[in-house]
Amino acid sequence: MNILCNQKKLSQAITNAQKAINNKTTIELLRGILITAKEGKLIVTGYDSELSIETNIDAQVNKEGSVVVNSRLIGEIVRKLPDTFISLETDADCNVYINCMNSRFKIKGLPAEEFPQIGDINVDNEVKINQIEMRNMIKQTVFATAIEPMNPTLAGELFELRDNNLSLVALDGYRLAVRKSEIKDGVDTDISAIIPGITLNHLNSLLTDDGEICVGFDSKNIIFKLKDTKIIARLIEGNFTKYDSLLPKDHMTKIKVETRKLQESIERASLLFTSPKNNLIKISIMKDMIAITSNNENGNAYEELDVEFEGNELEIAFNSRYFLDGIKNIDSEYISIEFGGEVNPAVIKPIDGPEYIYLILPVRFS
Amino acid sequence: MNILCNQKKLSQAITNAQKAINNKTTIELLRGILITAKEGKLIVTGYDSELSIETNIDAQVNKEGSVVVNSRLIGEIVRKLPDTFISLETDADCNVYINCMNSRFKIKGLPAEEFPQIGDINVDNEVKINQIEMRNMIKQTVFATAIEPMNPTLAGELFELRDNNLSLVALDGYRLAVRKSEIKDGVDTDISAIIPGITLNHLNSLLTDDGEICVGFDSKNIIFKLKDTKIIARLIEGNFTKYDSLLPKDHMTKIKVETRKLQESIERASLLFTSPKNNLIKISIMKDMIAITSNNENGNAYEELDVEFEGNELEIAFNSRYFLDGIKNIDSEYISIEFGGEVNPAVIKPIDGPEYIYLILPVRFS
């Protein structure tokens, strides 16, 4: 390999590839990124067993070839070089020579042949989504995926397209988040796939405010295409929980409340909690106001808030972190909360803005 | 105690006091801050065995009194409350009631009587220094104090005032940093005291761009007075090393080089180092240019830099971190470096700006 490319672009491509790398791996090859020079392009790929992220940049390719190099080392070197042209060269022993202005580095590489790769995908279905919309959809749901669940489908989100309506759905046994969006550039067929939460988190860190993302599927894989970057990941097999049936049909109490004020009140009432396991807040819903209280060995907290109210008065308790997860990702100035009694789930919805449902189970208190 | 005070001011006072607190302590009392209401003021004090930091703010004192409360807990509560008046009240059981708008907290406190305090100091000598100047003086020297040295004076900095010239001096057996400054509001007598490096680090985090700091001494203690904040710390006893005799009288090689370019070159040449113990860079000084090289199991790096040169050509090696510590705190566009041969110390000085000397010992290489 012998190429010349731009420092800023190479640095960005390495940063993207690094997101795929599991820093806990002890396998030297998987701490590396694959760099391939081919047909006027430099392709930089990071991989772990779940997904690969590859970015291609323009390069003057004097000699094609590829090599694996430690991602931290080459990342730090390229980032610290001046914003000008960088030359990369390899020899027969996989040494990588990096030259830029008055700086010269020689670092040890590994043969590219051994680097694992997710093979190419023949996309059956493809859908285009605005990047900002995609990012918000993920942000409002991904936190509700389960960590190492018994049922592996709960570690992922349902990506469901029906009649040009896209839903992202996550649930973990304590709460359910559903975010919908209308798709303009749709496909004829419906899609239903389960995407790992970890893949969506990686994707979100690559999304920008600029343009669209193209999402394609085959039966086992998903591929996200951005301008110069491609993410390929495995789908989770199995059937996702029928979430429609979990949504309550009616309610006995409903309030409308200022989103940020409710968030701040719950955050303050949660300040006494020192352990993530013990963080129960009690909400007393009265006519035109609610009181939020918490109580433990550190002391107690009381917060009062004006609300619009209809239905019956109610006392109900929640895990404060789960409650906050839902409301802090809602931009609408006001939210509605529907309660079905002290042992039934509550449903939080924005008053304005995109279609979003956050359902949360109460905690019993004595 | 029963007082009313401003949220922002109370929050700032708590933040200041928290800097004194050693978060590793298992003594509940020392995780607390002392809050005292007295004569129209609220005084907030943090303490560990080395120093105390106290800040006073205006308050409407309805009832005088004092209490100790967990610093993390009250800090987080006050920080999250709205920017308006806060009322603090205590009962006979040391419970603390915090009320603000629609928020009410009750947290457990401890009796103030048990809180340790450094007694009041009768200042013998006092000197005024511009805060920005003081901050720069500390920044350019404090890193060269030793961590847990055999000789306890090396954990501190010499604060030496002679004929209205102030010197701050730190050394650790590998390098020596001396920063001087002329004092306008001086004292008649000379001062020589050893201030713990940790105290100076705490002080630096409290200094602002605004006005002067007043530094007072008695035989065992130092007191720094800012507008509303007072830091009292114990001095280190003993005699500081006679550093004057360490400064070389002459040199055999001298270069003048761009400060930031040299810093960047050494930083890049240091990227291959993965352990803090193995970070040797070699500098080859030739007519009109220097080459900086490093070399380990990861590969090698070579950096070239133009310099102004006088004297003999030389090859010399340094610990790159120690070298960088000195130059990265120099603002001058150019520095001079004087070398006395490959086994003698090098002396780095700014070409412009305040009087500063950084002396560093070379490392032998085979």
Is A103 close to B271, i.e. CB distance below 8 A?
no
State which amino acid sits at residue A130: N
Residue A299 lies in a domain: yes
How large is the greatest C-alpha to C-alpha distance in chain A, in angstroms? 79
Neighbours of A358 (CB within 10 A): 26
Query: Is the domain of A104 the same as that of A175?
Result: no
CA A4 to CA B156: how far, in whole Å? 51
* B259-282: burial string, b at 16+ Cβ within 10 Å, e else: bebbbbbbebbbbbbeeeeebbbb
Query: Is the domain of B223 the same as that of B179?
Result: yes
CB distance B125 to B185 below 8 Å: no
Query: Is the domain of A236 the same as that of A179?
Result: yes
CB distance B23 to B110 below 8 Å: no
CB distance A179 to A166 below 8 Å: no
Low-confidence residues in chain A, pLDDT < 50:
none
- Non-local CB neighbours of B354 within 8 Å, separated by 6+ positions: B136, B179, B180, B181
| A77 interface with B at CB cutoff 8 Å | yes
- Angle (CA) B269-B273-B275 rounded to 5° is 155
Query: Which residues is A128 bridged to in the sheet?
Result: A214
Interface A-B, measured as beta-carbon pairs within 8 A, has a size of 81
Residue B365 lies in a domain: no
CB distance A196 to A207 below 8 Å: no
Give the residue from B210, B227, B244 where a domain finishes: B244
Is A264 close to B77, i.e. CB distance below 8 A?
no
pLDDT in tens, B240-252: 999 999 999 999 9
Is B303 close to A73, i.e. CB distance below 8 A?
no
- Non-local CB neighbours of A329 within 8 Å, separated by 6+ positions: A139, A140, A143
Query: Is the domain of A148 the same as that of A88?
Result: no
CA B241 to CA B151: how far, in whole Å? 10
- The encoded tokens of residue B252 equal 């055999």
CA B51 to CA B222: how far, in whole Å? 10
The per-residue pLDDT for A366 is 61
- Non-local CB neighbours of A281 within 8 Å, separated by 6+ positions: A266, A269, A270, A292, A293, A294, A317, A318, A320, A323
The per-residue pLDDT for B27 is 87
Residue A144 lies in a domain: yes
Residue B275 lies in a domain: yes
The per-residue pLDDT for B120 is 74
Tell me how close the Cα of A315 comes to any Cα of chain B, in angstroms: 19
Query: Is the domain of B136 the same as that of B230?
Result: yes
The per-residue pLDDT for B186 is 65
Query: Is the domain of B240 the same as that of B252?
Result: no
Closest CA to A200 of A129, A131, A139: A139
**Which of B76, B302, B305 shows the shortest C-beta gap to A271?**
B76
Residue A295 lies in a domain: yes
**Which of B73, B107, B268 shows the shortest C-beta gap to A103?**
B268
How large is the C-alpha radius of gyration of chain B?
25
CA B364 to CA B280: how far, in whole Å? 10
Is B271 close to A77, i.e. CB distance below 8 A?
yes
Q: Which residues in chain A are closer than 8 Å to B302, comparing Cβ atoms?
A: 103-105
The per-residue pLDDT for B338 is 98
Q: Which residues in chain A are closer than 8 Å to B272, comparing Cβ atoms?
A: 73, 105, 107
Query: Is the domain of B146 the same as that of B110?
Result: no
**Which of B103, B105, B298 shows the shortest C-beta gap to A107?**
B298
Residue A177 lies in a domain: yes
The per-residue pLDDT for B26 is 86
Q: Which residues in chain B are closer than 8 Å to A267, comparing Cβ atoms?
A: 80
Residue B101, domain extent: 2-114
Q: Which residues in chain B are closer than 8 Å to A73, comparing Cβ atoms?
A: 271-272, 298
Closest CA to A322 of A355, A284, A288, A273: A273
Closest CA to A44 of A232, A230, A227, A217: A230
pLDDT in tens, A316-350: 999 999 999 999 999 999 999 999 999 999 999 99
Q: How many domains does chain B have?
A: 3
Query: Is the domain of A354 the same as that of A266?
Result: yes
Annotate A131-194 with three-state secondary structure: HHHHHHHHHCCHHHCCCCCCCHHHHEEEEEEECCEEEEEEECCCEEEEEEEECCCCCCCCEEEE
Give the residue from A224, A245, A266 where a domain finishes: A245
Instruction: Give me the residue label for tokens 């790398």.
Output: A21
CA B315 to CA B183: how far, in whole Å? 40
Query: Is the domain of A31 the same as that of A50?
Result: yes
CA A220 to CA A237: how far, in whole Å? 8
Tell me how close the Cα of A325 comes to any Cα of chain B, in angstroms: 18
Instruction: Give me the residue label for tokens 């701490």.
Output: A31
CA A186 to CA A191: how far, in whole Å? 10
By C-alpha distance, the chain B residue nearest A105 is: B301
CATH code of residue B254: 3.10.150.10
Rounded to the nearest 5°, which phi and psi values hold at B47?
Answer: -145, 140
Give the residue from B244, B279, B303 where a domain finishes: B244
By C-alpha distance, the chain B residue nearest A103 is: B303
Query: Is the domain of A68 the same as that of A104?
Result: yes
Region of residue A26 (phi > 0: left; psi between -120 and 50: alpha; otherwise: beta)? alpha
CB distance A10 to A81 below 8 Å: no
Give the pLDDT of chain B (366 residues) as one tens digit per residue: 999 999 999 999 999 999 999 888 888 888 999 999 999 999 999 998 889 999 999 999 999 999 999 999 999 999 999 999 999 999 999 999 999 999 999 999 999 998 987 777 888 788 999 999 999 999 999 999 999 999 999 999 999 999 889 999 999 999 999 999 998 876 778 899 999 999 999 999 999 998 999 999 988 999 999 999 999 999 999 999 999 999 999 999 999 999 999 999 999 999 999 887 789 999 999 999 999 999 999 999 999 999 999 999 999 999 999 999 999 999 999 999 999 999 999 999 999 989 999 999 999 876
Query: Is the domain of A72 the same as that of A93?
Result: yes
Tell me how close the Cα of A23 comes to any Cα of chain B, in angstroms: 15
**Which of A80, A264, A304 shows the shortest C-beta gap to B271?**
A80
Closest CA to B341 of B248, B243, B259: B248
Residue A365 lies in a domain: no
**Which of B102, B108, B264 shows the shortest C-beta gap to A298?**
B108
The per-residue pLDDT for A104 is 97
- Angle (CA) B304-B310-B315 rounded to 5° is 50
Query: Which residues is B57 bridged to in the sheet?
Result: B42
CB distance B138 to B130 below 8 Å: no
Tell me how close the Cα of A221 comes to any Cα of chain B, in angstroms: 36
Residue B157 lies in a domain: yes
- Angle (CA) B65-B71-B77 rounded to 5° is 90
- Touching A: B residues 284-303, CB under 8 Å: 297-303
- Angle (CA) A15-A17-A23 rounded to 5° is 90
Is B271 close to A76, i.e. CB distance below 8 A?
yes
Instruction: Give me the residue label for tokens 């940063």.
Output: A15
| A227 interface with B at CB cutoff 8 Å | no
| B104 interface with A at CB cutoff 8 Å | yes
Closest CA to A300 of A281, A322, A276, A315: A281
Is B80 close to A305, i.e. CB distance below 8 A?
no
Query: Is the domain of A190 the same as that of A226?
Result: yes
The per-residue pLDDT for B366 is 61
Neighbours of B253 (CB within 10 A): 19
Q: End-to-end distance of chain B based on CA atoms, in angstroms?
A: 70
Q: Where are the alpha helices (DSSP H) in chain B?
A: 7-18, 71-80, 131-139, 197-206, 259-269, 320-327
Q: Which sign does the torsion angle of CA B26, B27, B28, B30 carry?
A: negative
How large is the C-alpha radius of gyration of chain A?
25
Determine the 3-state secondary structure of B56 from DSSP: strand
The per-residue pLDDT for A274 is 85
Neighbours of B3 (CB within 10 A): 24
Closest CA to A360 of A316, A318, A328, A331: A318
| B365 interface with A at CB cutoff 8 Å | no
Give the ipTM: 0.88
Distances from the Cα of A303 to the Cα of A132, B109, B276, B317, B329, angstroms: 35, 21, 50, 64, 48
